[in-house]
A = this chain, B = another copy of it.
């Protein structure tokens, strides 16, 4: 049993420094400019230490999201009584948030990380867009309960379509013309 904890334990300090440095570099210059070299230099750690604990840049990003260091803006789905108004507000809120260069860049960072490492993509998305998904589904269920949404509607489908719309919007950077209201209108079956 003596073998279990031999040697120096992992330095939590180094781990934090690396994650913080990675977060700063991503927000400053974007995920595609991110290099292990730069993370090591900025965090004052050795490169080996990074490779020892993370096997890819995407996994560092995953950790950042997990720890809330790198997070899409919290965007709760309010409950004012009107489901349509609440969803529209949510989509408008996200759209407005994407107008901020930092948020848009983070969103693109997420997409880049996911798109060139399919293995990690699910993890990344469940961590970052998961809360949105969950919030939307819950609000939809509430809407069903209050009779504002037909029973047959698949809440997951609506959530996926909404988030997919947000992603598409982030990538095309406002080239699209359809408004949040019209999307929600469609999704709710009006």
Chain A interface (Cβ within 8 Å of chain B)?
30-32, 104, 108, 111-112, 114-116, 118, 121-122, 125-126, 150, 152-154, 156-169, 171-173, 175-179, 182-183, 185-190
CB pair B112 A171 closer than 8 Å: no
Partner of A168, one of B30, B32, B116, B164: B164
Closest to A153 in B: B186
Assuming the contacts A161-B186, A168-B163, A183-B161, asked whether A115 and B125 have C-beta atoms less than 8 A apart, the reply is: no
Copies per assembly? 4
CB pair B182 A154 closer than 8 Å: yes
Question: For chain A, what secondary structure do more than half of its interface residues adopt (helix, strand, loop), or is it mixed?
Answer: helix
Partner of A161, one of B125, B156, B161, B190: B161
Question: Nearest-CB distance from A138 to chain B (Å)?
Answer: 16
Partner of A115, one of B111, B163, B175: B111
CB pair A171 B116 closer than 8 Å: no
CB pair A115 B171 closer than 8 Å: yes
CB pair A122 B183 closer than 8 Å: no
Question: Nearest-CB distance from A96 to chain B (Å)?
Answer: 17
CB pair A156 B171 closer than 8 Å: no
Question: Nearest-CB distance from A171 to chain B (Å)?
Answer: 5
Q: Can you name 19 A-B residue pairings with CB atoms under 8 Å?
A: A104-B118, A108-B115, A108-B116, A111-B171, A122-B172, A125-B171, A153-B186, A154-B178, A154-B185, A156-B177, A156-B182, A157-B182, A157-B183, A158-B186, A160-B183, A167-B167, A186-B189, A187-B187, A189-B189
Q: Which residues of B contact A172 (CB under 8 A)?
A: 114, 121-122, 125
Closest to A184 in B: B157
CB pair B126 A175 closer than 8 Å: yes
Assuming the contacts A116-B108, A179-B157, A190-B152, asked whether A168 and B171 have C-beta atoms less than 8 A apart, the reply is: no
